[in-house]
Amino acid sequence: MAKIKPRVKVPRSAEVGEVIELKTLISHPMESGQRKDKAGNPIPRKIINAFNVTYNGEEVISATLEPAVSANPYIQFMMTVPEAGEIVFAWTDDDGSVYDLKKKITVG
C-alpha cells in the first residue's frame, strides 16, 4: 500500500486580522469498496472520511468526505488570523487512523 503523506501550504507569518489562504493535499489511495481484486474478491473500502482544522484549539473548518472524493484529496480554504498560534490539520481514515500535521503562524 502507498504511504499516506499529508502536505500543507501555510504562511509562516501574518498580521492580526489578515485573511490567509491554506492549501492541503494528502497522498492516499482512496479505495471506494466497489472494485474487486483479480480473484474477484471485493477490495475493502478505505477512504479519508473526515477533515478537520483547528487554530489554537478552535475549529476553523470541518468536512465530511464521501466515497466519490478522488484519491489524494486537495482542499483549499481561507482563514482570518486572530493571533499567533498553531494550526492543526487532521484527516481521519475509515479504519480510525488519524493523519495530522501541525504548523505555527507568527504575527508581525
Q: Where are the domains of the chain?
A: 5-107
What does the pLDDT look like over 76-105, one tens digit per residue? 999 999 999 999 999 999 889 999 999 999
What was the pLDDT predicted at 107?
Answer: 94
Q: Over 70: is that where the pLDDT of 43 sits?
A: yes
What was the pLDDT predicted at 2?
Answer: 60
Q: What is the pTM of this model?
A: 0.87
Q: Over 60: is that where the pLDDT of 1 sits?
A: no
Report the C-alpha gap between 41 and 8 in whole angstroms.
36
Smallest Cα–Cα separation from 75: which of 2, 22, 11?
A: 22
CATH of region 5-107? 2.60.40.10
Phi, psi of 79 (to 5 degrees): -150, 145
Do the beta carbons of residue 95 and residue 49 sit within 8 Å? Answer: no
